[in-house]
Amino acid sequence: MSLLSRLRRYFIGGFDASMLVDSSSVGDIEALPGVQRAVEGVAGMLASVSICVYDSQDQEVYPAALNLLTGRATEMVNGWDLRRWLVTESISQGNAYAYLARTYSGEVAEIIPLDRGRVTINWASDPYQYLLDGQAVASADLIHVKSGYSRWAFIGESPLDKCRTQLELIANLDQWAATMAATGTTRRLAFKFPTPISEQAKQSILLAWKAKHSRANGSGEPLIIDGGGSIEGVSGSDDLSALTNARTAAMGEIARALNIPLSFLAATESGTQVTLDAQRALVDQTLRPWARRIESELMAKLLPGYRVEHDLQELLRGTMKDTAKELSKLVMAGVLTPNDARWFIGMQPVKDPMADELMQRLDTAAGQAEVNGDREDEESESPDAD
């Protein structure tokens, strides 16, 4: 049996394969649509961009280990899923661990994501030591991506845990909305009678109302009140409006908890187009820090001696219409050459000397001065100048 087979048998064989993916039921907070969109959106976008590797000469290279991130990480997990999982697990649990299974020569053959609870830290050892299923494991063989929301350097803390109080309030709003949708009730009611009634009669009325009306479609059932009684709504006339406003405000709480621009979470029935400025804020504020955490682990353990970068520029190009408009402005302003603009959208340069020259605008002092200088040079070179 090869070393790789023995490693796979040790790390996977003793467990059901489904354990590589957490199958436990998600909590109320993780099940919130806003949280789901935020976590999956950030993780998916970061996993979708290209990973570039550079050598000491700053030349892009393609080492074999890079295939584990772009192709198959293991026989069961592809590189895209692995990269996405590292982010989702770090956000929900604070830490994500993956084992680097090596060959006899020390080359990494597989990157195995590890289920929750399998990795701990032996705080009694000096220095501290990782434990995998209770056994010591070298830190060089363990990719550890930590959430940035932590009071400690060695382990991360989930932002969902740190902001649990506020996020639980949002979950309670969803439960409130579910109750209103099921019963059709948006107001609290008051039963009034011209003369006092017994406590037993009060309880009987309440129980009867709950049995008939506090259920799905219950608000459509007719009310029968005798004895001169009446029913009035005493509060909650604007409950539905208040709920809508509260859910809108809740999106802001989710955005702040996960350090994500609110515009990324906003959505309407017709769909919301994220502007280039909002996309840039998402990249700089959210994606870039996550990319740096992953890159530092990859450079230290998977690709030592190389520089690793996520090509986040891919996310800043927007639609082709917006990109063409912005690039045209930069070319006309003399900031980019035409070939620079072509490179930005992945096109080959043209073999025209002017395509590598910056344009000079005639409505600027510098541009007019250059034009005047060219005219003077032409006049001095003219035969009639003598």
Bridge partner residues of 97 (DSSP) = 144
User: Of the ranges 69-78, 162-171, 184-193, 314-323, which is most confident?
Assistant: 69-78
Give me the pLDDT at residue 19, please: 34
Of 339, 304, 370, 329, nearest to 143 by C-alpha is 304
Distance between CA 147 and CA 215 in Å, rounded? 43
pLDDT of residue 212 exceeding 90: no
Instruction: Report the C-alpha gap between 279 and 316 in whole angstroms.
Output: 7
Indicate the Cα dihedral angle 190, 194, 199, 200, nearest 10°.
-100
CA distance 205 to 191: 9
Beta strands in the chain (DSSP E): 51-54, 60-61, 95-102, 108-113, 119-122, 129-132, 135-137, 142-146, 188-192, 230-235, 307-310
Range 180-195 burial, b when 16+ CB lie within 10 A, else e: beebebbbeeeeeeee
At 219, give phi and psi (nearest 5°): -70, -15
| Other C-beta atoms lying within 10 Å of the C-beta of residue 14 | 9
pLDDT digits (tens, 9 = 90+) for 38-63: 889 899 999 999 999 999 999 999 99
Residue 371 has pLDDT above 50, yes or no: no
74-108: per-residue pLDDT in tens? 999 999 999 999 999 999 888 999 999 999 999 99
| Position 191 pLDDT exceeds 50 | yes
Task: Dump the DSSP string for 89-108.
Answer: HHHHHSEEEEEEEE-TTS-E
pLDDT at 218 over 70: no
Min mean pLDDT across 149-158, 197-206, 242-251 is at 242-251
The tens digit of pLDDT for each residue in 291-325 reads 999 999 999 999 999 999 999 987 876 667 777 88
Asked if 314 and 323 count as a contact pair (C-beta separation under 8 A), the reply is no
**Mean of pLDDT values over 188-193:** 67
* Between 230 and 102, the higher pLDDT residue: 102
Integer Cα distance of 356 and 99 in angstroms: 48
User: For the segment 20-42, what is each residue's pLDDT rounded down to a tens digit?
Assistant: 333 333 456 777 778 888 889 89
Instruction: Report the chain's terminal Cα–Cα distance, integer Å.
Output: 93
Name residue 96's beta-bridge partners.
145
Q: What is the pLDDT of residues 239-291, one digit of tens each?
A: 666 666 666 777 788 888 888 888 777 754 444 556 667 788 889 889 999 99
Q: 133: exposed, middle or buried (C-beta count within 10 Å: 0-12, 13-18, 19+)?
A: middle
The residues that bridge with 122 in the sheet, in sequence order, are 129
The token pair that represents 265 in the structure block: 């979470």
**Residues with Cβ within 8 Å of residue 121, at least 6 apart in sequence:** 128, 129, 130, 131, 154, 155
Give CA–CA dist 40/27, Å, rounded.
Answer: 16
Residues contacting residue 31 through CB under 8 Å, at least 6 positions apart:
171
Evaluate if residue 194 carries a pLDDT over 80. no
- Angstrom distance (rounded) from CA 290 to CA 282: 11
* pLDDT over 60 (residue 3): no
Distances (CA, A) of 18 to 7, 77, 110, 213: 18, 11, 18, 44
Higher pLDDT among residues 110 and 341, named by residue: 110
pLDDT for 67 equals 94
Q: What would the mean pLDDT of 129-158 be, rounded to a whole number? A: 89
382/135: higher pLDDT: 135
* Local structure of 167: helix, strand or coil: helix
* CA atoms in the 13 A half-sphere facing the CB of 291: 24
CA 317 to centroid of chain Cα atoms: 18
- DSSP states of 168-224: HHHHHHHHHHHHHHHH---SEEEEE-SS---HHHHHHHHHHHHHHHSSTTGGGSPP-
